[in-house]
Structures are given as structure tokens and as C-alpha cells.
Structure 1
Amino acid sequence: MEQLSYQTLKALGSKDYLLESAPEKVLQFGEGNFLRAFVDYFIDVANETSGFHGKVVAVQPIPAPALKEKFEAQNGLYTLYLRGIQDGRQMEKRRVVSCISRCISAVEEFQAVLACAHNPELKYIVSNTTEAGIVYRESDRMDDPATASFPGKLTLLLLERYRCLPDIGFVLFPCELIEENGKNLLACVRKYITLWELSGDFAAWVEEKNEFCSTLVDRIVPGYPKDADALNNANGYEDGLLVCGEPFGFWAIEGPGRLNDELPFAKAGLPVLVTEDCTGYKQRKVRILNGAHTSTVCAGLLCGLQTVGEMMADPLLRAFLEREVATEIIPTLDLPHSELDDFAASVIERFQNPFIRHELITITLNSTSKWRARVLPSVTEYVKRIGALPKLLTFSFAAYADFFRRGTFDCKDDREVLAFFAAHRTDSAEMLMAALCAQEQFWGQNLADIPDFLPTVTDAIQTIQNKGMRAALEAILS
């Protein structure tokens, strides 16, 4: 079977949309599955439907010669499948993505990266260098860019642009999964300017001519599909860059409104929102999507379930999840109710995706910090607005406590958390919950200070221990 390329597609008489030649407009640090199933997909659709007419230069932050060879052999082409549940129906969408022009190594070909700064049409920089990628290292040297961090390399790229095209700055869209990713990236660049004693004029240019936009990304991308051989056979070509993602996608960009005209994603009907403030959308994702996971996973495991799909097929667990989202989480958020309802409905569909096997035990990783970040804000906001405890979210704390107390699962959390539960494994329910609620280093506060929280979670864990998780869920839902 021939490898995917423009020539192969032409020989097959392909009817796929293809953009073989166009100006390079985007520099992308990261060539992995997520960006190719998310940002590059959006750019490709915008090329086809709304006249963006731009190519992406993919930059490898870490050398991966075999992967780079695939980009070269396939002319940057790859096949994307979006699979899942949408509007109540199972769907699969196939697309050959043709927006990537080439792939270069930031380590082995840094001069080629710097050369991109000389292109006046290249105005946008996207990155996904993992959560650990946006980092400042005092040991980085200006004369050794190969070993510098991503922000260090970016500082040198900005310096090159300043020297050759000072009237044209960049708009940067970091997609790393950290809070305020744009602001954090800019903060690192500022530190490198100081470390390397670069000029005040350059420092001012970075601030005035460039825009570091914080972004929120949302799409599950499992990556290379298990049924790749069958898909390649159906396509009639071999694709070493094949990637799968879920149908749902959402990209919120904190930036100026003019970006809607420059980057015609909205015109193309894509789920990309340019806004002055992403806070509401971050809260929506963290509290509904992530919060629903965190608040049900321990109960699901204690009911003998193994995956999110199994949990959604279980009437009791699904009822718990849907009710807590609708009646206890959504009332704590400030976006329009219709938007929140639509997002909640999409979350239910995403959790039912038959193409993604999401193990519940993997979701329990660092459950303590996750409950604090994803569930506790809904609890405290609900108490503030409604004047009562949200009983299902409160119950989830008891389920979490019983799950970790048992010590029968492969629990992975901070050492202090595991040590706490090991020390209190034989405590009575009253003693365990009193001690757990008082762990301010876990929760940032004493949870017993929330009215009725301690007696409520104590009663809940006693019910779980005496009657079992299913009976406890039935009781809380009755």
C-alpha cells in the first residue's frame, strides 16, 4: 500500500479538499496528536471554507526523527477521524488535513526556526509543549538555544523578529494546560530578557508589538487508533500520522476582537471563541466536565464499574451525575443558563463515547487536589447562593474518603494524602471525617467550617460502610 502523499491521493482520484501550496502563516511549537486534531483541524477547515489560505510550520520541541520522517514522506498530510456521540447519534467524520507545510526540529534545526521570523506573512505562534513546557531555567544560555526551554527559544525567535521585521509582531496562542498560559509564557520571556541582558528597546517591543493570548482548549484526543490497519485499508493508503479525536471541541481565546476577522474560525462555523475574559468558560469546564468526573469516579469504582462508559450505562450512577450537574453545579455558574445546559448535554454525550475507553481508576489520580479544585468551589458557591449544602456533591466527598480509606484500590495521590489515610484506616467514621475535614493543607480551609458539612459527610460514609455504595446512592437520590 502506498504511503499518504499528494501524489498518492491524486492517483487514487481523491475528492478530499487539499491545499498543496499557500503562504506559511502559523508557527506551531508541538507536532503531537492534540494540536493536529484541534488547532490544525480548525486551520484546515478555515482554509477550505473561509479563505484563511495559510500553512502551518510544525516545530518539534524534542527531537523525534522517525516522526519527522513521516511528516516529510507524507508532505505534512494526515488523516483525522472525529468519532463519538453527537446530537444523540453515533458519528464518525473523516478528513485529510493539509495545512502543515513542513516539520522542523527546534533542537537540530534552530536556524530554520529563526528563519521563520523573516516571513512577514507568518504572524501567529501556537504551542503545546505540555504543562512542563512553559518554564524558566536560569541555566539556559543564549549561545546554546538547542538546550534552552521553549520560552527561551521563543525569546530568541522574538529577538530575530525584532531585528528583521520590527513593525510586525506576533500573536501567540499557547495551548498548554496551565492557568493563564499566555501570561505565564510572557512572564518567562521577560525573565530571559533580564537573564540574557537584552536591550530595553527589545523588552518594550515584546510588550507593545506582540500579544500573548491565554487560551482554554477542550477536546479529548486518544491519538493513534487501534483500528488503524482497517482505516488504512479503507482509505487505500498507509498513514503513519493517523489521529483520532472526539467530535466535541472548544477553543476560547482571551484576546482582542479583531482576531475574529484575522482568523476566520467563527465564519467557518468552528467552536472558537475570542473573548476578553475566559474565566466563565474555564469555570464551566472545570466544574461541569472535570467536576462530574471527580465527584462520581470513586462511587463508580465502589459499585464495581471500571470505565466511564460503564458508569454512563449504569442507571444509578448516570442519574446521580445528571442530577448533580443540573441541580448543584449549574446553579453556581454565571454563564447564560442555555449555554450551560447545552454544555452539560455535550458532557453526557462525551462520557458515552464508545470509541474512548476511559478507565475510572486513572481518573482517581490525585483525587484530593482534584476534589479541591473541581468540586469544592461548587460546594462553597452553592452554600453561598442557596443557603444549604448541595447533598450530592457533599456525598461525593464521603465516597472519596471511603475509597481511599479502604486501601484496596491502586490509589495514587500525594505522599501526605496516602500517609493520612494509612494512619486513619481503622478510625471510626466520626474520627476519620473529623480528621480529614481538618486537613487544611489538603483543602485550603477547614471543611468543618462549612455549615453542616462534617455531620453530613459523616452520616454519608456511615451509610456507605453499613449498606454499601449502591444502597447509599439510592438513598441519596430518593
Structure 2
Amino acid sequence: MNPLNRSTHPAPALPERVLQFGTGVLLRGLPDFFIQKANEQGLFNGSVVVVKSTGGATDDFSAQDGLYTLVTRGIQRGEAVDESGVISVISRVISAQENWQDVLQAARNPQLQIVISNTTEVGIQYVEESIFQHPPKSYPAKLTAFLYERFKNFGGSKHKGMVVIPTELITDNGLKLRDIVERLAKHNELGKLFMKWLKFHVRFCNSLVDRIVPGAPDEAIRHELEEKLGYQDNLMIVAEPYRLWAIEGDERVQEMLSFAGADEGVIVEEDITFYRERKLRILNGSHTLSAPLGYLLGNVTVQDNSDHPLMSRFIEEAVLQEIVPTIPGLPDDPSAVRTFAEEVLDRFRNPYIEHFLLNITLQETSKMRARNLPTFQRFIDQTGQLPQRMTLGFAAYLLFMKAVRVEDGVFMGEATTEKGVITYPIRDDYADYFFKLWQQTTPTDEASVRQFVATVCGDTTLWEADLSQWAGFTEAVADHLHNLLSLGVEATLERQMVTA
């Protein structure tokens, strides 16, 4: 079987207009996909030069001339999606370790306009270092060196400024990256003129990405797909149908990002707070709310939750009846919140993605505080009532945090499911806190359980609020927790769904 390359799949040679830091699957499955689509529609007509910062090997990309297959599989608007296409936007991949001069040479390209990155959340951190190393160690230092080279080469021309769009999953990623670059410029004494050019002619945009891109399919599925496609592809990746890239920018940014017009999944607006809030409350919040309950039922993945009749209904009703009403819509699109929620429920049902519930429970306490407590508060303020399904989800989280022992420094929980007794790690900064509280609690004593709940809900250090002030909340959580302990998880969930 012939390998995928430009001899078997010719692609037009387009000018390099985008510099991409990172070869990861998210960038290849989202921004590069959008650029590919825009090129096919004649809206962008540019290619992407990629900088590989970690390690030196670029052999797979060289062997395939930068081509790779993006397989899109999942559920969209209730219909199954199974598509594939060749992405041809990558012109070349440069190893920062081995060919740093080539990166600096790219800075001298007058047609280059955009920088995108995904170096993980750890990548956007200030490291005090010289940008004149070959290469600098941190991503922000590499970017600063690149921008300084461009500034010098074009004499600080305002027409050779750039748009920089980090996609790392941190709030205000663009503003944080700009701050680090400015600090590095000062540390390296790059001069006032460069600082002025940075300020006025390099636009750092906050952005939000939302697409699950698991990456390479397992070997058996890859071979099956290769037989169907008729070529070998060592860079093949799989993604879900849903896609969103929200970018904060003005009219100048919109003009430079002409690829945005190719797909409704790219949004360029001056304020993307709505999209970030919508994702945090609905997608992330429902994950955090449902993962402990589903896992204690014996489910392993998000799809298992969707396949479980009671759990599926619990999630759908919590999302549509308790979370969605607390999120203000867009003035010109009042249905945007519910539409997104329905898309999220479709994404949960995707049979091609293994999203493990145990992974979702990582740092569950902090996630519960950030993602769901504001929703509780808004629902109570709006209705004067408690969100009943979310309250059960909170009680299940408290049970999930019940460690029975410590193994090699890891707190271990235990649950009895239809599949038998399971043990699981509690990977949470507050695991010790809950371990000590549960040790002081008698699970079979209802009064002891109620005292445990009262202590947790009233801990303002833990929640940055006093949850016991929500009328009836402590009592309702205690009722649920007592039922979970005495009746079992499935019986408690069934009772809740009958009375809901």
C-alpha cells in the first residue's frame, strides 16, 4: 500500500501565512482543519509552517510531505457522522532544537501574518531567560525571539505586525502570553521601539477551543481505515464532528483571519466571554456533576453514562432544566445556549470516543467549586428552589470522595456496583481533608452523616462561600447522601428520577 504523500495526493503550493508552534492533534484537528476548509473555498490561500519544540524528529511529516488524514466520527444533530479528508495545509515542520535558524528565517517572510500555538497550559509561563539562545527554552521566549527578528528585519514596520492566537486552555490566554512576552522583552533589553511595535502592531488574541481530538486511532482501526482509503497514513487522527474556535478580535483581526468565513465553528468577536461561560457551565459543569455518580453506578466512560437509561435522563434533565436556564443568551440569538446544550448531549453519545469518567474526576473539588457552584447560586436566585438533580450530583461527589485507605500515598475509594466491588484513586488536592472527615463519620448513622454534610457545606475555606446559607441545601444533600449509603446508588438515582 502506497504511503500518503504529495505524489499520490497532489496539493497546491501556497505561501506560508501561518506559523504554528506545536504538532499536537488539537492544532491539526481544529485550526489546521479550518485553514484547509478556507483554502478549498478560496478564502485564505495560505499554508502553515510548523515549529516542533519538543524533540527533534520530524520524519513522519517529511515522509508524508506534511499530509495527514482527519477522520471525523460521531453524532451531530442526532445523525451519525463518519467522514475523512486529507489535510494539506502544512508546508513543512521545523525542529526548533536542530534548525532554529530556519524559524528565525521564517520571521523574515513578509507574507506571514498569524502565529498560533498549543504548548499545553504549562507552556504559557514566564521563564527568565535569554531569547538569544539557539533555541530559547520556553515557548514565550521562542515567540519573543521570533517577533524581535521580524521587527529588526522590517524596520519596525506597522504593516508587518502579526496576530498571535494561543489555544492553550487557560482563561485570557492571549493577555497572559502578551504579558510574558513584554516581560521577556524588558529582561532582554530589546528597546523601547520594539516594545512600542509589540504594543501597537502585534495583536495577542484570547481564544477558546472546543473539539475532542483523541488523536491516532488504535492500530486495528487505522489499518481498517487505510484499507478503505487506499493508502498508508502514520499521521492519521480522529476528531468528533463538533468544533469551535472562538477568537477575541476587532475588525483588523477579522480581516487578517480570512479563514474564519469558511466554517461556522470559527467565531471572531470582540468579547468571547459568552462562549467561554457556556462551555464551562454546560459541557465542563455537567461532566463534573455526573462523573462521580456515573462511576459509582459502575459506568466507565461518558458513553456508558449516555447508554444507561437513568443516568442519561439525569444528565439531560440536569443540563436542559437546571443549567441552561441560568446562562444568559445572546441578544441576537436567544437559542444559542440550548442549541449548544443539545450539541453537548450529542457529543456525550459519541460511540467513537472513549472519555473515561475517572479522568474527569481529577481535581473534582476545585472543578465543582469553579464550574457548578455559580450555577447552583443562579438557579436558587432565579427560582427560589434547589436544582434537585444537581443536588444529587453534589451528594454523589461527597460519596466519591470517601477514601477507605491510602496506598503508596494515593487515597483509594471503594464502591459496590452491579459489576462487583471496585476500587479507584481519588486524585484531588482535598483528598486528605475528606479522608479525615469521613474517618470521623459513621456511614450507617444518619445523624453522623448529616453532621458530615453540615461541616462540608459550612466550610467557607473550601468553597469560598457558605453553602449552608442556601435554604434547604444541607438537608437535601444529607438526605441524598444517606440514601446513597443505605439504599445504594442506583436505587437513589431511580427514586430521584421518579420524583423529579
TM-score tier, shorter chain, comes to over 0.9
Counterpart amino acid of residue 474 in structure 1: E
Quick one: which of 366, 384, 387 aligns to 1:387? 384
SS of the equivalent of 2:246 reads strand
Please show how residues 338-353 of structure 1 align to structure 2 within 5 Å.
Answer: 338-353=335-350
* Map of 1:286 onto structure 2: 280
Provide the C-alpha distance between the structure 1 equivalents of 2:77 and 2:389, rounded to a whole number of angstroms. Answer: 27
* Map of 2:373 onto structure 1: 376
* Map of 2:145 onto structure 1: 156
Provide the C-alpha distance between the structure 2 equivalents of 1:209 and 1:266, rounded to a whole number of angstroms. Answer: 21
* Map of 1:14 onto structure 2: none
Q: Is the 8 A contact 1:37 1:221 kept in 2?
A: yes
Gaps of 5+ in 1: 10-17
Correspondence 1:27 to 2:19: yes
Provide the C-alpha distance between the structure 2 equivalents of 1:246 and 1:385, rounded to a whole number of angstroms. Answer: 35
- How far off is 1:221 after superposition? 0.5
TM-score for the superposition, normalised by structure 1: 0.94
- How far off is 1:225 after superposition? 0.5
SS of the equivalent of 1:384 reads helix
Q: Is the 8 A contact 1:50 1:267 kept in 2?
A: no
SS of the equivalent of 1:410 reads strand
* Map of 2:436 onto structure 1: 423
1:89-140 superposed Cα distances (whole Å, 9 cap, x missing partner): 21111110110000001222111111111111101000000010011112x2
* Alignment RMSD: 1.5
SS of the equivalent of 1:118 reads coil
Quick one: which of 386, 399, 406 aligns to 2:396? 399
* Map of 2:48 onto structure 1: 56
* Map of 1:8 onto structure 2: 8
Q: Taking every aligned residue pair, what percent have the same amino acid on both sides?
A: 40
* Map of 1:446 onto structure 2: 466
Counterpart amino acid of residue 206 in structure 2: S
Provide the C-alpha distance between the structure 2 equivalents of 1:7 and 1:174, rounded to a whole number of angstroms. Answer: 33
* Map of 2:315 onto structure 1: 321
SS of the equivalent of 2:123 reads coil
Counterpart amino acid of residue 179 in structure 2: A
- How far off is 1:454 after superposition? 1.5
Gaps of 5+ in 2: 404-412, 415-422, 442-447
Provide the C-alpha distance between the structure 2 equivalents of 1:173 and 1:387, rounded to a whole number of angstroms. Answer: 42
Q: Is the 8 A contact 2:395 2:481 kept in 1?
A: yes
Quick one: which of 314, 324, 328 aligns to 1:330? 324
SS of the equivalent of 1:445 reads coil
Please show how residues 408-419 of structure 1 align to structure 2 within 5 Å.
Answer: 408=414, 409-415=423-429, 417-419=430-432
Counterpart amino acid of residue 421 in structure 1: F
* Map of 1:306 onto structure 2: 300
1:69-99 superposed Cα distances (whole Å, 9 cap, x missing partner): 1111111111110100112121111110110
Provide the C-alpha distance between the structure 2 equivalents of 1:267 and 1:314, rounded to a whole number of angstroms. Answer: 39
Provide the C-alpha distance between the structure 2 equivalents of 1:64 and 1:94, rounded to a whole number of angstroms. Answer: 29
| Residues 145, 376 of structure 1: alpha-carbon distance in 2 compared, 3 angstrom cutoff | farther
Provide the C-alpha distance between the structure 2 equivalents of 1:111 and 1:265, rounded to a whole number of angstroms. Answer: 29
1:214-253 superposed Cα distances (whole Å, 9 cap, x missing partner): 0000000010011111112222221111111000001100
Provide the C-alpha distance between the structure 1 equivalents of 2:396 and 2:224, rounded to a whole number of angstroms. Answer: 42
Please show how residues 99-114 of structure 1 align to structure 2 within 5 Å.
Answer: 99-114=89-104
TM-score for the superposition, normalised by structure 2: 0.90
* Map of 1:193 onto structure 2: 185
Provide the C-alpha distance between the structure 1 equivalents of 2:360 and 2:263, rounded to a whole number of angstroms. Answer: 32
SS of the equivalent of 1:286 reads helix
Correspondence 1:457 to 2:477: yes
After TM superposition, the structure 1 stretch with the greater mean CA deviation from structure 2, 33-42 or 449-458, is 449-458
Provide the C-alpha distance between the structure 2 equivalents of 1:137 and 1:259, rounded to a whole number of angstroms. Answer: 28
Counterpart amino acid of residue 211 in structure 2: R
Q: Is the 8 A contact 1:42 1:270 kept in 2?
A: no
- How far off is 1:266 after superposition? 4.5
Q: Give the length in aligned residue pairs.
A: 466
Provide the C-alpha distance between the structure 2 equivalents of 1:216 and 1:145, rounded to a whole number of angstroms. Answer: 31
- How far off is 1:445 after superposition? 2.0
1:181-203 superposed Cα distances (whole Å, 9 cap, x missing partner): 00010010011012112211111
- How far off is 1:64 after superposition? 4.0
1:419-440 superposed Cα distances (whole Å, 9 cap, x missing partner): 1222122412112212222333
